[in-house]
Structure 1
Amino acid sequence: MRELEGKIAIVTGASRGIGEAAAERLASAGATVIAAARSVGDEADPKLDTLAYTIAQIRGRGGEAYAYHLDVAKAESRAEFMDAVLERFGRVDVLVNNAGIAGYGAVTWEMPDKHFRRVFEVDVFGPRDLIARALPGMMERGYGRIVNVSSTVADRAAPNPEGPPFLDFHRTTGIAAYASAKSALNLFTRALAAELHGKGISANTVAPVNSVMTRGTRDLVAAGVFNLDRIKAPEDPETMAEAILALCVADPDVTTGLTTYSGQYLAQIGRPVRGRDGGAFDGKVTVASVNY
């Protein structure tokens, strides 16, 4: 099904992981994909973890995709990127804010101020700026779909809200910046949805049910940041990509302001996971929330 036929869709952080999978899946649904990231690469020699590789996969299946440099951490890069996209394509119909940083590595009193602020710059101010630039055109046309990629560390996998005991992961990994930034993203999205309701524009967040086994996650495991024992039900990027697409095609009058969770949301609406090419997918889809 080409549910996004004729739509212009931006996917940030599309050089790898969830963003790569989402860009491919939206393209297989008919969208013209604007793939954005810092690592553009060479289209003549596409390498893994670059936009060149992502768009090569899309074009190889007959899809339409374009690579654009974007450093979400820099306000000037965000402005230049959106200006270039709007000048070339005239509009943005779908905006998937996937790019983000975790900021693991230091507990609060040891984390440099600039690092804590950078997590918020990328995970909160970045999406906000891109949305603000896309919205005037969306409101003029009465059509827009905004999907912000969040994390379970914002709530379900966050430190115990009832107090001790706390898991060692939450005590020592240094997730305060990331957890608080993603929580802010969730609430910002819900507030935005309220402001936009009735204008033909939806705004939702979606998070994986559990750790997504991307190349980046495997690197964190290898570096000792994640213990494999903690990843009890690893999720494939295709599940997140399908959930993102599902939110892009849902009725904006009904499905907006949601904080959703990949496989759980898909199970609720009865939508199967498809492969990146829109074909069959035989991976396991995790539905139950995992307690760390």
Structure 2
Amino acid sequence: MSESIAVCVDPSNEQMLKAWDGEDGALWAKRAQRINDGVAAYREAFFAAAGIQSTDRVLDVGCGAGQTTRDAARQATDGSALGVDLSSAMLGLARRLADEERVPNVAFKQVDAQVHPFPEADFDVVISRHGSMFFGTPLTAFTNLARATRPGGRLVLLTWQPLRLNEWITTFRTIFAAGREVPSSNLALSDPLETEQLLTSAGYTDVELTAVNKPMYFGRDVDDAAEFIVEQHGGRLGDLAEATRAKVIEDLRADLAEHQTGRGVFYDSAAWLVEARRP
């Protein structure tokens, strides 16, 4: 794991830095392979839309442990891929994996993409797999990314559709609420009209959103999936009585059992494939 460095962030992203360069980032680094496996069904559509050419320079926003950055670099054989994220733990893992997998044309930086001074018109393709939904001030962030995209360059995002269409989120939120109020805040970039208006205002054009629905993988079996999900959501159980915590785990395992298949535990998910161009 790499050591954290001082990162210049927009004030609106300070809490994100605290989370992603803290416990959340450490957990995601620990579970990087499971997280990649979870959304693997989206990979083909995502990279087909990105259309990365051999000489392209690619920017991967919110790259995490760098799977999509390394995949992009492999396609840009005579170009390069830069992955940026707030998590020093995940970036440390990304660098190690790039070395182990011998991907030479890839680099990683710990920066806030909302305000980082990327070279102007430097990237042919900007991609983000579920990493562009966390900006404190989205218009500022996407305006900065548009400035860094060359004329004619492309933006390709994978974002979640509304909560009601994502079985996995609504199910786990309800179970771990344990009878308390279920968090109802919607997901950033989940509204098509708002997303189109945002990207257009930021300097992109030809914005298109395509609905993509894929099953999400959570584990080999109930035991494996339960361990992973409790690790992610268990913090919500800390103030509950022991009997209530036990009931939550029991309810979770019962629901996971209903989603067990011969290939593992899967839940329905729904994403937007967002494409835009820099004029």
Normalising by structure 2, report the TM-score: 0.49
User: Which structure dedicates a bigger proportion of its chain to strand?
Assistant: 2
TM-score (normalised: structure 1): 0.47
Bigger Rg, which one:
2
